[in-house]
Amino acid sequence: MTQLDALNTAIETYFEAIHECNVEKLDKVFHPQSSLFDADNGEVFVEPIDSFRADVAGRKSPQSAGQDLEAEVLLIDFLSPLSATVKIRIRAHQNVFVDHLGFVKGSAGWKIVSKIWHLEQILS
């Protein structure tokens, strides 16, 4: 398996985790010390992965609502053979998000170490 194949597998795990609200899959793809960031309201919002994990666990999943998985990779930029930035778009219910995911590859494979997200659109 190439580095790109392995990274794409990690990205697919992220897509499935969000679509299914599956915290076990979140645990597979996020580094345990990662954080998430947003500034849509004019203030920097920082959420540690444990808080995000609890939030996802409490949501009704798009999958359980009958929504098909709608997600796409917009950009993969390898900073080195062991680090990459991935830009994705994903729909969760009526919300469409664009994320920049910072990945690093260690002995446990590709892990997200940071996520910057933006609510791009709310569908009616």
Model pLDDT for residues 14-29, shown as the tens digit of each residue: 999 999 999 999 999 9
For residue 109, pLDDT over 90 is answered with: yes
pLDDT at residue 40 is higher than 90: no
Specify the pLDDT at position 38: 95
pLDDT per position as a tens digit, 48-95: 999 999 999 999 999 999 999 999 999 999 999 999 999 999 999 999
Reported confidence tier of residue 41, pLDDT bands at 50, 70, 90: confident
Residue 25 to residues 9, 10, 22, 30, 84, Cα–Cα distance (Å)? 12, 10, 6, 9, 20
